[in-house]
Structure 1
Amino acid sequence: MTRLSTQLLLAGVVLTTALGGCSDQKTTEAPQPQGSAPISSTAQGQFTLPPVAPITPTSANTEPTGVPPAVAPPQVDGALFTDPLRVTTAWMRQFCQTDFMEPINGNLTRAATYATLEATAADTTHGDTAQSYQQMQNQKLATRCDQVEASINPEAPTTPSMVYVQVSAARTQLADGRPFQTLPLVSTRRVVRGGDGRWLVDAAVDAG
């Protein structure tokens, strides 16, 4: 072997060794999800995930976090019946909340304080049947509501004794005290003023 060949061979060995050493030190960055906490990597290529906030369980006597509180029983407040929006809001708070521990259509019985007899009768025809009420009891179903809002429909006819009010609420559904879904509940009701001067919620004019 010539002296030149020996030098080239030695140079190749040194270059190969150097490249091998560099490949051993190379690490791969984990993809970084947008909007998440940073993920750090260690020298050994292991990744450390961001800490997760612990979930605090609730006791049997405490409603789960995020569930609106139960509504108070209906109150016969004379001032409330002088305002169609206030009486409709009070009606919705009672109408929206249901509970398997109440008698069948207990929400309609409570809401009747703020409604005409005709409206309560019509709502009852669309309420729970004996079969649906039994299923409600078997599954321990209930609903709780908040974010109740009411406004007069400006496009509907209005008279001194009749207005149309759109009322809405966020209804949280529960099974055995635990929430599993929140959906909007919206209805447009005719609100009428009787001969005694009181405003009362009357018939529904939509499918809500």
Structure 2
Amino acid sequence: MENLEIGLMAHAINPTISLIIRSQDRHFSDNIAPLFPYAQVLCGAALSAEVFGCAAFGENVLSLFHLSEQIVMVTEYKIEEGDTLNGLLLSEIAYGYSVVPILYQKYQRDNYSLMPWYDVKLYAGDRLIVLATSSSLQRIEWGEMLPRLWQVQIEKALTTNAIMYGAEEIVLITGCSLASARQWMNNLPGVLPIPLYKHQAQRLVRELTKIQVLANVIFIGQSSSFT
């Protein structure tokens, strides 16, 4: 109650300040938050409990912040053989687990990339830092990725070079082998047999268009797998 009273006094003196009220009781926080829409009411015990819960997964929670009524954790991963992240593109991690990669460091390299390109593929020994909610960290722990519901249909390549460059873009964005990509580009028109996330598929179509390959996105409406 003292924190609440002091916060309301501060707001009365200067209504333009950013007001944060600390509480140690989750029910108290939930009850008073709707009464003061100009303030953020944070329960220290609830924040700590969520961080402890995520730390139980074995991940390194570096920091956390409150955003849109959610706790977002800055979490570090050191990739090992058998990890659910090993061998995935950053785009697959971002869209499949609903996280935001903010730092990538390749194994045995001193330099690192901030806000790295989503075309990077993770391998054992690499280091990755992401922004994630507790539900996202749980999905990573259990390897439960969101379904890939989109594919790319390629109509034709307008030049001979477009076939070669198109195969390279497919490899870069989907992570498939170069041999498979070349085979698909040499047998147009066709639908790439790789289910993708929506933003992955849209980006591939944009990049193919730049090199004079006509393509479009197809919604397949259900989860598929590719081996």
| Structures share fold, TM-score greater than 0.5 | no
CA radius of gyration, larger in: 1
Give 1 or 2: higher helix fraction: 2
TM-score calculated relative to the size of structure 1: 0.22
TM-score calculated relative to the size of structure 2: 0.21
Higher relative contact order (CA 8 A, sep 6+): 1
